[in-house]
A = this chain, B = another copy of it.
Amino acid sequence: MGLVTISDLQAAADRIKGAAVRTPLLRFDDGLWLKPESLQPVGAFKIRGAYNALARLPEDVRARGVVAYSSGNHAQAVAYAAKLFGVPAVIVVPDDTPRVKVDATLSHGAEVVQVPMAQREVRAAELVAERGATLIPPFDHPDVIAGQGTIGLEVITDKPDVATVLVPVSGGGLISGVATAVKALSPATRVVGVEPELAGDAAESLRVGTLIRWPAGDRARTIADGLRAEPSELTFEHMRAYVDDIVTVSEEQIGAAVGVLARRARLVVEPSGAVTVAAYLARRSEWGSAGGTVAVLSGGNVDPEVFTRYL
């Protein structure tokens, strides 16, 4: 299986200029810097991969529109990227999706199709066939991985001496791209993934060297609702090649990190985005050393009630 290359990432960086924010590194303490992807237009890093994937489509193909099935940040990102290109987007969501998320997707000008959870993939495939549209997957695609990897390029540009980069892991698109960048530009830098203990399938898989599947019901237990997906063959190959370790954090540690980020870094970060800081705070003595650590904060879309609980 072909892995994404550093030149794929560099080309993606040129494409996404103007669509994604060039986020700064923010100093948190003597050992930790934050990469706040919560500041992206849709509140998450997903705009990088979605925009790059749309940009890579031939113009006549893109004009027929794009389809995504997701109720989360990826759906917002595909809808927003399609708006920027002026092409139609259809987002297929489960029929129990909260109204606020449906409204957010509609606000980007996308069409929203609500179906029972089990029919999402089938309905998306039908839409692709009916309209000649293109499916934009949330992580299992080289163009999506390359877009997410632009975060790694920026981290190494801004802090070439960084010792450790911490990255949330769900389907693995983000860490696949970031690790590709880091290992190409700064091979001595460690790339460490972070998962909730309650959705620690990628950590277990990397440890044993083969993809271990956890039941979706198990992965759904964590408050970190953006980290409930599981890696694909493609993203797992990237992890095996480039990721040094994957660690896990407890639900309590995740909630505490959301509160610390609000009070000390003045950032609204969703639980999925705060797992990296949770891991740092638990292992500061190990990672706070020379060179320091960068924690990728993947997103900031959190319900106000959940957020307030941790303040």
Q: Which residues of A contact B (CB under 8 A)?
A: 21-24, 26-27, 36, 38-39, 41, 43, 262-263, 266-269, 300-301, 304, 307-308, 311
Contact = CB atoms under 8 A, between A and B. Distances in A.
A21 B263 CA distance: 18
Given A21-B26, A24-B24, A26-B21, A266 B304 contact: no
Given A23-B24, A24-B22, A266 B268 contact: yes
A272 to B, nearest CB: 13
A21 B41 CA distance: 20
Nearest to A264: B43
Contacts of A266: 38-39, 43, 267-269, 300-301
A122 B147 CA distance: 58
B24 A41 contact: no
8 contacts: A22-B24, A26-B39, A39-B266, A266-B268, A266-B300, A267-B268, A268-B268, A308-B308
Q: What 10 pairs between A and B have smallest CB-CB spacing?
A: A266-B300, A266-B268, A38-B266, A304-B311, A21-B24, A43-B266, A262-B268, A308-B311, A308-B308, A26-B39
Contacts of A22: 24
A31 to B, nearest CB: 15
A22 B308 CA distance: 29
B263 A304 contact: yes
A39 B308 CA distance: 20
Nearest to A305: B311
A288 to B, nearest CB: 16
A98 to B, nearest CB: 14
Contacts of A267: 39, 266-268
A39 B24 contact: yes
A225 to B, nearest CB: 16
A41 B268 CA distance: 16
Most chain B beta-carbon neighbours within 10 Å: one of A22, A23, A266, A304: A266
Contacts of A36: 39
A262 B300 CA distance: 10
Given A24-B24, A266-B300, A307-B311, 16 more contacts: A21-B24, A21-B26, A22-B24, A23-B24, A26-B39, A27-B41, A262-B268, A262-B307, A263-B304, A266-B268, A266-B269, A266-B301, A267-B268, A268-B268, A304-B311, A308-B308
